[in-house]
Amino acid sequence: MKIPIDRDGWRFIAIFAAVNAGLFLIWAPLGWAFLPITIWCVAFFRDPERATPSGPSLVVSPADGKLLPVALAIPPPELGLGPEPRKRLSIFMDVFNVHVNRAPVSGRVVALKYRNGRFFNASFDKASEHNERMAIRLRPDGRGDESDLAVIQIAGLVARRIRCDLKEGQSLNRGERFGIIRFGSRLDVYLPASSVVEVEAGRHVRAGETVLARLQ
């Protein structure tokens, strides 16, 4: 069975496999003990295909994971979205989730801003404000700047690498892959004021498939 793997994963998989092979040569029980970790490494970088729903007003999840409680929060100031609080949907990805990130809407990248920061546990609210992050401002197709939304890739307690493949001005389709975070992290989505949330806290969502909200 072929397992789709994100391009970031092959180097790590090769390292884990080499270590595993060396442990088998040293002492077979060590190799067997390490084998689940090697399998986990392969699973971490899996990149399965997803069936993205159609509909011009849909906002789908950009990440796999658990949806944290919906909050009202001011979006990152570097994106120029103003000081008014917005509905913030946060998805916490543990080390067993798929970590490939996907676009929540079809549209254009208006702004990209990277900021250094700390590495609090990504399930804590303070991670949104203080952790290392890549902030992305998107404008859905056929809409004005009042419908812009923000997607924030946030490093977590053990995450030390955010990859974002986007460029300012780039167009992308809903469900399109745009990056990955290693290992265990969080994504925040700041919605326009008129949007309607379609999911409840605690639900497990899937990148590119689960509808989070509808734009009005």
Compute the radius of gyration of the chain from its Cα atoms. 18
Low-confidence ranges of the chain (pLDDT < 50): none
Alpha-carbon gap, residue 116 to 107, rounded angstroms: 27
User: Which pLDDT value is given to residue 16?
Assistant: 94
User: Which pLDDT value is given to residue 58?
Assistant: 95
Active site residue 185: yes
Distant-in-sequence, close-in-space partners of 57: CB < 8 Å, separation ≥ 6: 214, 215, 216
Residue ranges per structural domain of the chain: 9-44, 58-214
Alpha-carbon gap, residue 135 to 109, rounded angstroms: 11
Are residues 81 and 150 in contact, defined by beta-carbon separation less than 8 angstroms?
A: yes
User: Which pLDDT value is given to residue 119?
Assistant: 66
User: Which pLDDT value is given to residue 123?
Assistant: 64
Query: Could you tell me the CA-to-CA distances from 194 to 32, 86, 197 in Å, in that order?
Result: 54, 10, 10
Give domain 58-214's CATH number out of 2.70.70.10, 2.30.30.100, 3.50.50.60, 2.20.28.90.
2.70.70.10
Q: What is the pTM of this model?
A: 0.87
- Residues 134-147: pLDDT tens digits? 999 999 998 888 88
| Encoded tokens for 46 | 């899996």
Q: Which residue type sits at 99?
A: H
Residues counted in the chain: 216
User: Which pLDDT value is given to residue 94?
Assistant: 86
User: Which pLDDT value is given to residue 56?
Assistant: 83
The single residue of 90, 128, 147, 185 carrying the catalytic annotation is 185
